[in-house]
Structure 1
Amino acid sequence: MEMIEKDKLYPFIFEPIYMERMWGGNYMSEHLNRKLPKGKKNIGEAWELSDRDDAQSIVTNGPLKGCSLKKLVEHYGKNLVGSSFRGGKFPLLVKLIDAGKRLSLQVHPDEAACAKLGEGAEPKTEMWYVIACDRDAKIMSGLKGSATKRQFMDSLNSPDIEDYLQVSDSRPGDAYFINSRRIHAIGAGNLLLEIQQNSDTTFRVSDWGRVDENGKSRELHLEKALKCIDFMDRTSSRIAGVSDAMAHNRKFPIINKCPFFRVDDLRLVEKWQDTTQAAGSFNLITAINYPVTVGRDEKMTRVEPGSTCLIPASFGRYSIILEKEDETTTVLKTTL
């Protein structure tokens, strides 16, 4: 494929990579009206932006349609990723999580744990944003302040383990910051946007005793997980969403002290002006409830609800144009 000059780069949209999961739900088709691939069942994840050897995002718009994210990163480097880029893969992985059933109780390692564990383990800190959920949906993240390590260990194979976890009612617009080493699980009935370090390392602590259609249980990684869990971490992961009606455009920082990514919740009632120069990195724009169009001049890209647009770091000023100016449009903006 012939690459274009850096000053001709534009906002990219990628083909979702759909993943079958035993806990997959129906929110992507019912809430986002997505046409899911035929022949796949229990789709639980859509990888919206991925630079993994086994899962490469492919551009679907503009002159670079058909190009992989890997090739974009290799060719454009800092012009795509930002001034802090030192080579390697794109630093983030963006997913939709469609949980028809609850996910396993799990933990991800930090860099220190990865160094001890070896075997290609990668650090992973992530955040979740609740797009939609059932009325009784839950999020489990972190140990309760009163829980002891012994109580947790003694209840690993018991439903009572939930008694020692921080359990929150899911609410659209709420976010959760899941630092590495924090025990967590996504409850049934949640549609989440997940923004994370580019890692696929997960250690399952419990899978709630369930088995797949062949009667087999999934592998647990208790020994490795126990080397990762921070039993001193009792902070709350929940970041309450915005509930007030908007009379004008507002920006609400969600994640602003994480070294791996920053996320803002934009509540828009009219066109939003922005620039990639402020952060010195790419800008990811995720439409939550209504479509938006992103870019400037002739370099405009439409973003459907649930989809994420990658604006190259060198792009500079851009606008987010609303399709429903009589309603508040919610957009997440992610940078390094």
Structure 2
Amino acid sequence: MNNKPLLLRPSGKDYLWGGRRLNDEFEKEIDLSPLAETWECSTHPEGPCYVVGGEYDGKELAAVLREHPEYLGERHKGETELPILIKFIDAKKDLSVQVHPTDDYAKEHENGQLGKTEMWYVLDASKDAKLIYGLGKNCTEEEVRTAIERGTLMNYLQQVPVKKDDLFFIKAGTIHAIGAGALVAEIQESSNLTYRLYDYDRVGKDGKKRELHVDKALEVANLSSSAEPRQPLRVLKYRKGVASELLTRCKYFEVYRMLVNTERRQTVHYHADEVAFRVLLCVNGCGTISFEGGNITFYKGDCIFVPADSEVLSIHGQVQFLDVRG
């Protein structure tokens, strides 16, 4: 069996709202300043990731999956690209107020691309960090247009405080923004379609205000008031050396938080899925994954792609993963 795990190296993005934490705390060693995002597990052409070590060293993950579509699993038979994209996001400043389209809208209006439903898991947040989640009251399209023109859109938006270990599910069509001071892991559909409604009149590197996409945004945005997002009830399930809890389940992905501690146990066995790939995103700690013929040493911030029907892996260390199932 050749379905061995693959350690990945990300692409980076230097959007103007980013900071330094992904280089300073996650040692990404990407020569961008600011470093706003790293696309950790991606076959999207605007931000590919690459395999580190082993027989595919230096290859784009996209190229490996074209050669071995079986790595995606039976659930994704006939596909050769990842249906999801996993990122780290360092918001030193507020992100733009934006909305993402549904699959149906993107397919019709954006040359067959995917829409974007996403999940955020908050890794860290400053004391006063907030995010924007939907509208505080029902609005008409005209009211929103007028508010954008007058610079008063913030009066209509629902702002929610965030803290470390919070999670938020952002359905396509929800007006949203990550606020300054949040460090986030994002799991989303493999799409880079973002329609900006408001960007605080900021100026990009070219000296011009960044483009807004008000017409498209209002075609896809939910303009009804949103219920304030509540943190879901989460239940840690324990077995020897490992605990896990479900964070999110939707038609695009399932995400679990997994805590491994082999201090009193030599290893924890990790069984890959027979029908779909998985991704392990290390959000704290370090350790080793062993398999027949090799091992991968990983650290905080590393991302590992586990092909479908992979052999059983042995994990050693004290580590917190997001275990993403495709």
Q: TM-score, normalised by structure 2?
A: 0.88
Relative distance call for 1:87 and 1:171 in structure 2 (3 A) is: same
Paired position in structure 2 for 1:286: 281
Alignment check: 8 A CA contact 2:138 2:223 kept: no
Q: SS of the counterpart of 2:63? A: helix
Q: SS of the counterpart of 1:109? A: coil
Paired position in structure 2 for 1:83: 74
Query: What is the alpha-carbon distance in structure 2 between the residues aligned to residue 220 and residue 291 of structure 1?
Result: 41
Alignment check: 8 A CA contact 1:95 1:193 kept: yes
Shift of 1:237: 4.5
Shift of 1:182: 0.9
Q: Give 1:18's match in structure 2, choosing from 12, 17, 33.
A: 12
Alignment check: 8 A CA contact 2:124 2:164 kept: yes
Identity among equivalent pairs (%) = 27
Q: SS of the counterpart of 2:57? A: coil
Alpha-carbon displacement from aligned partner over 1:16-56 (angstroms, at most 9, x marks no partner): 2111111111211233243332xx32221111122123433
1:41 equivalent in alignment to 2:33? yes
Query: What is the alpha-carbon distance in structure 2 between the residues aligned to residue 45 and residue 115 of structure 1?
Result: 26
Counterpart residue identity of residue 49, structure 1:
C
Q: SS of the counterpart of 1:102? A: coil
Query: What is the alpha-carbon distance in structure 2 between the residues aligned to residue 250 and residue 11 of structure 1?
Result: 21
Query: What is the alpha-carbon distance in structure 1 between the residues aligned to residue 242 and residue 8 of structure 2?
Result: 27
Alpha-carbon displacement from aligned partner over 1:214-236 (angstroms, at most 9, x marks no partner): 43101100000111112247244
Shift of 1:243: 11
Alignment check: 8 A CA contact 2:4 2:311 kept: no
Listed as ranges, the matches of 1:142-181 within 5 Å are 142-144=134-136, 146-149=137-140, 152-157=144-149, 160-181=152-173
Query: What is the alpha-carbon distance in structure 2 between the residues aligned to residue 88 and residue 10 of structure 1?
Result: 18
Alignment check: 8 A CA contact 1:11 1:299 kept: no
Shift of 1:174: 1.2
Query: What is the alpha-carbon distance in structure 1 between the residues aligned to residue 146 and residue 215 of structure 2?
Result: 15
1:190 equivalent in alignment to 2:182? yes
Relative distance call for 1:241 and 1:219 in structure 2 (3 A) is: farther
Counterpart residue identity of residue 83, structure 1:
E
Counterpart residue identity of residue 283, structure 2:
I
Shift of 1:240: 5.7
Shift of 1:156: 2.5
Shift of 1:158: 5.4
Relative distance call for 1:30 and 1:147 in structure 2 (3 A) is: farther
Shift of 1:201: 0.8
Shift of 1:91: 1.2
Relative distance call for 1:242 and 1:260 in structure 2 (3 A) is: closer
Alpha-carbon displacement from aligned partner over 1:139-163 (angstroms, at most 9, x marks no partner): 112223x343365444324564334
Q: Give 1:307's match in structure 2, choosing from 302, 307, 311.
A: 302
Paired position in structure 2 for 1:335: 325
Paired position in structure 2 for 1:64: 56
Q: SS of the counterpart of 1:113? A: helix
Relative distance call for 1:152 and 1:130 in structure 2 (3 A) is: same
Alignment check: 8 A CA contact 1:9 1:312 kept: yes
Relative distance call for 1:218 and 1:71 in structure 2 (3 A) is: same
Cα RMSD between the aligned structures?
2.5
Query: What is the alpha-carbon distance in structure 2 between the residues aligned to residue 248 and residue 70 of structure 1?
Result: 34
Q: Give 1:274's match in structure 2, choosing from 251, 270, 286.
A: 270
Q: SS of the counterpart of 1:180? A: coil
Query: What is the alpha-carbon distance in structure 2 between the residues aligned to residue 165 and residue 253 of structure 1?
Result: 29
Query: What is the alpha-carbon distance in structure 2 between the residues aligned to residue 238 and residue 272 of structure 1?
Result: 33
Counterpart residue identity of residue 84, structure 2:
L
Comparing 113-122 with 25-34, greater Cα deviation is found at 113-122
| Consecutive unaligned residues in structure 2, runs of 5 or more | none
Q: Give 1:110's match in structure 2, choosing from 102, 119, 131.
A: 102
Alpha-carbon displacement from aligned partner over 1:184-210 (angstroms, at most 9, x marks no partner): 101112221111111111111111111
Counterpart residue identity of residue 187, structure 2:
I
Alignment check: 8 A CA contact 2:138 2:225 kept: no
Alignment check: 8 A CA contact 1:175 1:241 kept: no
1:219 equivalent in alignment to 2:211? yes
Alignment check: 8 A CA contact 1:288 1:332 kept: yes
Alpha-carbon displacement from aligned partner over 1:102-131 (angstroms, at most 9, x marks no partner): 111111111222244244553111111111
